[in-house]
């Protein structure tokens, strides 16, 4: 059973495009500190790249942090990925089986994943700035559910099968889905909900 210490706090945010997953930056780039006055002992669980967006968890619960970041536990993360071109079912099948990408200058075979071609997600908030528009080249969407998180893995995977990523949104962590959240939105959730949604196998 989880240790529900009364001092633990849990925040879910929709990190916008162009923001770093940290609280300060010497170069003046946008950081999480602009969104909310978070408690001093609360930090992001993992990260999203500056050019990615979507769900990010912040907490001071070290047990939850360990469970979500340790690759042994293989917790699920779902991404919506807008790619350059009309993505094919064959490409989705390749992604599902695993592809070879470079990680730390070595070749790495990604673990099996859930990969599906999907229509444009409903009620999708706009991105600022929007992706580049090219009249003669369409874009399309993939849903990717991974149980690992190598550096820039999704982008490397879609490029490997011939469809470079244009927009990347983390849509779910465990059973917690982005729903109607908007960029820059911050939601504090109770501990019970945090463990039920992010670590459903423990409940």
CB contact at 8 A, 162 and 89: no
HSE-up of residue 73 (Cα within 13 Å, Cβ side): 17
CB contact at 8 A, 196 and 175: yes
CB contact at 8 A, 157 and 151: no
CA dihedral 101, 106, 107, 108 (to 10 degrees): -70
Which residues are marked as active site? Answer: 49
CA 81/CA 73 separation, integer angstroms: 24
**Which stretches of 87-164 are assigned E, i.e. beta strand?**
100-103, 106-109, 114-118, 139-146
DSSP states of 175-194: TEE-TT--TT-EEEE-HHHH
End-to-end CA distance of the chain: 8
Residue 97 tokens, joined: 């089986």
């Amino acid at each position: 059973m989880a240790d529900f210490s009364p001092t633990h706090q849990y925040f879910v945010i929709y990190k916008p495009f162009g923001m770093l997953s940290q609280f300060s930056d010497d170069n003046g780039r946008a950081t999480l500190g602009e969104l909310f006055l978070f408690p001093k002992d609360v930090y992001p669980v993992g990260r999203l790249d500056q050019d990615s967006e979507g769900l990010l968890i912040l907490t001071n619960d070290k047990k939850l942090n360990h469970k979500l970041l340790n690759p042994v536990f293989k917790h699920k993360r779902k991404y919506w990925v807008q790619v350059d071109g009309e993505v094919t079912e064959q490409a989705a099948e390749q992604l599902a089986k695993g592809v070879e990408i470079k990680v730390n200058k070595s070749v790495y075979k990604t673990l099996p994943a859930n990969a599906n071609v999907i229509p444009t997600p409903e009620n999708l908030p706009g991105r600022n700035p929007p992706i580049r528009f090219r009249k003669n080249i369409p874009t399309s969407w993939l849903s990717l559910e991974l149980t690992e998180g190598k550096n820039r893995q999704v982008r490397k995977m879609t490029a490997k099968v011939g469809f470079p990523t244009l927009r990347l949104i983390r849509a779910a962590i465990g059973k917690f889905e982005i729903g109607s959240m908007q960029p820059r939105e911050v939601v504090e959730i109770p501990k019970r909900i945090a463990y039920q949604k992010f670590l459903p196998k423990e409940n």
